[in-house]
């Protein structure tokens, strides 16, 4: 069964979609939420990320996903006039779950978390990345379906409880997405919405999710701000039986 999502302040969108599997519904839901934004915020002006801060996260990463990289670059080029900070090719990711800062989570705890994850029967799945939408502080792809992502989040949250780590937001607050540009200043949302709308007819990109990564995450300011990470453990997801579907709960 897929855990239920709920209204949760501090997430975007606050209200979850009523259907976690329909691509059309998920795309429309994300777009309606973005078009209701009046003022975009600076993504980097977030509490808890002082210089030198590092934290453990569970993430999905996309090394070698050539079709995704091509579509991302196309969208970034078309939106270059907005002056946002682009996500580099090796920085594309889906944040699954915060584990905790390195000051609160020891290396031994992180290793135990990875060991526990490898004992689970976590199943590989397929996603589709749909161009294009946004949030209060970013431009991003809509992902579909959500159900396998929500189930994975719930499983990783349970492992965190077993390992005794601080953890992040509950599964009920999970809103999966794949960001490609981060907004770097306060600005009116309307010009961004207008620019993003022109890219919404691009073909979606299929993604094969065969592993989940436990990473030590940091912010880099070497050139433009970006997220960088060190992979602590890459946990393979088991292959689905032939003919199995993502859509089943």
The domain that contains 143 carries what CATH number? 3.90.1140.10
At 116, give phi and psi (nearest 5°): -65, -40
In a domain, 239, yes or no: no
In a domain, 245, yes or no: no
Q: With beta carbons less than 8 A apart as the criterion, state whether 59 and 95 touch.
A: yes
In a domain, 32, yes or no: yes
In a domain, 244, yes or no: no
- Domain tally, the chain: 1
Beta strands per DSSP E along 78-124: 85-86, 93-101
Integer CA distances (angstroms), 129 to 21, 26, 98, 146, 226, in order? 13, 11, 22, 11, 21
Question: What band does 247 get if pLDDT is binned at 50, 70 and 90?
Answer: very low
In a domain, 87, yes or no: yes
- Average pLDDT for 20-37: 98
User: What range defines the domain where residue 222 resides?
Assistant: 23-45+52-233
In a domain, 130, yes or no: yes
In a domain, 166, yes or no: yes
In a domain, 71, yes or no: yes
Element (H, E) at 145: none
Question: What band does 46 get if pLDDT is binned at 50, 70 and 90?
Answer: confident
Q: Is the pTM of this model over 0.85?
A: yes
- Average pLDDT for 5-32: 97
What is the C-alpha R_g of the chain?
A: 17
Q: With beta carbons less than 8 A apart as the criterion, state whether 21 and 125 touch.
A: no
């Amino acid at each position: 069964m897929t855990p239920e999502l709920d209204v949760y302040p501090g997430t975007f969108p606050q209200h979850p979609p009523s259907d976690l599997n329909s691509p059309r519904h998920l795309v429309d839901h994300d777009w309606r939420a973005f078009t209701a934004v009046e003022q975009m915020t600076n993504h980097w002006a977030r509490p808890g990320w002082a210089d030198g801060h590092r934290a453990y996260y569970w993430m999905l990463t996309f090394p070698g996903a050539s079709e995704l990289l091509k579509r991302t670059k196309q969208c970034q080029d078309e939106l270059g006039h907005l002056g946002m900070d682009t996500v580099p090719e090796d920085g594309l990711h889906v944040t699954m779950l915060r584990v905790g800062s390195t000051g609160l989570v020891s290396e031994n705890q992180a290793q135990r978390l990875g060991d526990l994850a490898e004992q689970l029967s976590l199943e590989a799945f397929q996603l589709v990345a749909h161009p294009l939408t946004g949030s209060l502080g970013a431009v991003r792809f809509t992902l579909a379906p959500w159900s396998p992502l929500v189930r994975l989040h719930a499983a990783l949250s349970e492992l965190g409880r077993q390992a005794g780590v601080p953890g992040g937001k509950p599964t009920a607050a999970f809103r999966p997405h794949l960001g490609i540009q981060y907004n770097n200043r306060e600005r009116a949302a309307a010009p961004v919405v207008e620019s993003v709308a022109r890219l919404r007819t691009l073909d979606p990109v299929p993604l094969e999710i065969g592993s989940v990564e436990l990473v030590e995450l940091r912010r880099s300011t070497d050139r433009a701000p970006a997220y960088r990470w060190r992979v602590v453990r890459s946990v393979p997801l088991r292959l689905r039986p032939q003919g199995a579907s993502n859509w089943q709960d």
